[in-house]
Structure formats: structure tokens, C-alpha cells
Amino acid sequence: MTLLKAVRGTRDLLPPETELWNRVEATARRVFTRYNFGEIRTPIFEDTQLFARSVGEETDIVSKEMYTWEDRARAQSEKSQSLTLRPENTAGVVRAYIERKLGEAGLLRKLFYIGPQFRRERPQKGRYRQFWQIGAEVIGPPSAGSESPLRDAEVLEMLASFLDELGITGWTLVLNSVGSSTDRPRYIAALREALKDKAPQMCADCQRRAETNPLRVLDCKVPEDQPIIEALPRIADHLDEDSKAHFAAVLAALDACGVPYTINPRLVRGLDYYTRTTFEFTHGGLGAQNALLGGGRYDGLSEMLGGPRAPGIGFALGLDRLILTLQASQSDAAPNLADAFIAPLGEAMNAPALTLARELRREGLRIELGDGAFRLKKSFEIGNKLARSIILLGEDEHRSGILTVKNFAAGEQVRVPRADVARHLRP
């Protein structure tokens, strides 16, 4: 029989690595809460149209990478529906904002999410088909200040603080402005004009994009196309005064609070909903897939989905990539040992050992419970692998209430009254 394996591009996350994942997620919750964000959990699959309309039909994500299926009707009253595993979470958040009328209170909504996303990409280091994102969105009616450059700067400052708090150094914040919905048609017209001559020398995808969605040409990764792309018109030269002033205000606020950045006029990002500020945080330790996170403004997205005017800004961080970065910097991390291994001496001691384990666990200690069927030598061997100390529980110890505790690193064995064991074990 052939053995079944995890599907290509997916993987199991195991302890002790999952402890690191939990620590990162807990830090995100703690930091984002300080900025008054609340958690949203949207469904893992949505109507395919949601992604087609927001991320964009011509993007790589929608045209090549989505896991889509036709969900058959189960009753005559139902229609079949095209469904898709979410490739990203911004579309789902904005759908929920519209559907649940989250803008009605006239306030900004500040929502974060942590969860898996799915894209059928070619797997490699830092790129998976099921991957996790930690993201956040700030969205609301213009009267709540949702368009203000202060919001952009606050989100970027929050990200810098989050990475600092995790101890991640060596990140670079790369910024650009892709202009407003009025700048964009002017720029696209200029791009189309320039591509008339150039597109025939480019890859097949670019030739198609030059017709259907010229902005996507700028995402092309084909090396031979890069010199041509470098010479194309720049969006920075097509911004109107409002967009220029908005971008300048974001930069001024970042300067004021001391968050360093570099500007990359080619940063357009691979999703169609962006307007004005776009950004990525990159990290040198990641290799080819060096984007730790990406995000930007999407001032027209709610309207594109049939909702009210609700400008917004947000980001999503690749949790898998963040973990790779942390693991690279903490390779000498000590294994996570239990505080103690309890060795019942004989099977009659199993039940008392379970009671002792229960007491110590309720004190908050991490306890591994052995088995009275094990010989003493075996208990010591296992205990030494799993825990910092071993507690021996035989008839004598049980009766007298004085336990024998040995710390493996110190090598010393002491007798400790049962009531003091928790205090004795505490690191």
C-alpha cells in the first residue's frame, strides 16, 4: 500500500516549533491590542467572485493560484456556487465590513486576523500552498479619518514595534505610492503607450497583461524583462498634488517617530485593490522569498464590492517566513523541557502519581508522567530526555509524604516534603 503524505506545499507543524508559533501569535495579539485592534475570523472559503472582483482577474493569484471548486446544489432550492479557499484575507474582511454594516457607527474599524491562506504556487523555501498570515485592517467612512496619512504611519509604526518586540532585526521597510483612482488611469495610459513598442520583446504573460492590465507588467519576475521594466514610466511622475501631499505626510510622520524606510518607485504589489501607499517589509535572511509582509491602502475596495465609501489600509505578514527568520536567529535555543518527570515505582503507585501530577500541574508546572511498569533505569533515561528533574514516588515516599527529587543538570538528589515540591521545582 502506498503511504499517504501531506499534499505538496503543505506541512505539519510540530512541537517544539509550534511553541514558537504560539509565542509569535501571542505577541501579535498583545501588541495589536495596545493599538486598540480587535480580532476578526472570517470563513476560510468564500464566493469566488469576491476574489475576482477585489484582488483582480488578471493577477497571478486569481488567474493561476486559487483553489476553486463548483459546490454542487444539495437541494432543488439551492443553486450550485463557485467557491474558493481564501488566498488572502483583506477581501473577506471588507466583505464582512459591508455585509455586517460595520461602518454604521461612523467610527474606524480596526480588525486583525491570524489564519491559513491558500495559493497554488510553486513551493520553495518560504513559499507554501497553505501558509499563515497575521494581518490587520483599518477601515471606515472618510468622516472617521480613514483616509488620513496618520493611519498609514500608525500601522507602519505598529509593525516596526511588533518586529522589535519579537527581537527581529535587519528588516527594511520599502514604501511607494501607487496613486489614487484618478491618478491611476493617467498612469495606465502612459504605460500602455510605452508598452506598445516594448511588449512584443517581453514574455508571453507580459504581452497579454500589456493589453488587459498593464500595471501587472511591473510584477513580472522574468529576468530578461527587467531592463525593459526599469525603463517604463514611473508612477511617481503621474501622481496628482493630493496624492503627492498624502505620501509626503506619511513620510513626515514616519520621520517624526523614527521609523526608517526606503522608497522603491517600482513597488506596485501583486493585487489590484491598492491605492496610494503600498509597502513591504523585507528581510535579507529569507533568500528569494524575502517579503516578510506586505500591505497598503485600498480606498476604493469597498465600493468595488458594492459597499459604501470606506477607505482603508492594512497589511498581512507571512507567519511561516517570520518563523524562518526567528529560527535562523535563535538556532541555539534550549529545548523546552518539562519541569519534572514523575516516576511511579511499581504499578501500585500509578494512581498516587497521577494525583501528584494533578497537584503540580494545578500549580502551573509542566509535568510528564511516567508509568509504574517501567524499570527505574528506563524512567531515568526517559526523564532525562524530557524534563529538568525526576520525582521518585514509591510506597515509602507516598506514606511519609517526603519525595525524592533529582535535578539532572545539578546531579543532586534531595528529599523534599510534598507541600514544598512545587516551590522546589519552579525555575
- What does the binding site for ligand HAM look like in residue numbers (CB under 6 A)? 88-90, 119, 121, 126-128, 131, 133, 135, 137, 270-271, 291-296, 314-316, 318, 320-321
Shortest approach of ligand HAM to residue 269 CB, angstroms? 6
Kindly calculate the radius of gyration of the chain based on its CA atoms and give it in whole angstroms.
Answer: 28
Shortest approach of ligand HAM to residue 65 CB, angstroms? 8
203 vs 207: CA distance, rounded Å: 6
State which residue, 89 or 379, has the beta carbon closest to ligand HAM: 89
Q: Which residue's CB atom is positioned nearest to ligand HAM?
A: 318
3-state secondary structure of 117: strand
State which residue, 21 or 315, has the beta carbon closest to ligand HAM: 315
State which residue, 179 or 383, has the beta carbon closest to ligand HAM: 179
State which residue, 307 or 370, has the beta carbon closest to ligand HAM: 307
If you count them, how many residues does the chain have? 427
299 vs 243: CA distance, rounded Å: 12
87 vs 96: CA distance, rounded Å: 16
State which residue, 235 or 324, has the beta carbon closest to ligand HAM: 324
State which residue, 238 or 321, has the beta carbon closest to ligand HAM: 321
Query: Do β-strands 275-283 and 171-177 pair in parallel, antiparallel, or remain unpaired?
Result: antiparallel
Shortest approach of ligand HAM to residue 276 CB, angstroms? 12
157 vs 138: CA distance, rounded Å: 14
Shortest approach of ligand HAM to residue 81 CB, angstroms? 23
Shortest approach of ligand HAM to residue 334 CB, angstroms? 28
Phi-psi region of 144 (alpha: psi -120 to 50; beta: other; left: phi over 0): alpha
Q: What is the DSSP string of 43-101?
A: -SEEEHHHHIIIIITTSHHHHHS--EEEE--SSTT---EEEEE-S-SHHHHHHHHHHTT
Shortest approach of ligand HAM to residue 281 CB, angstroms? 8
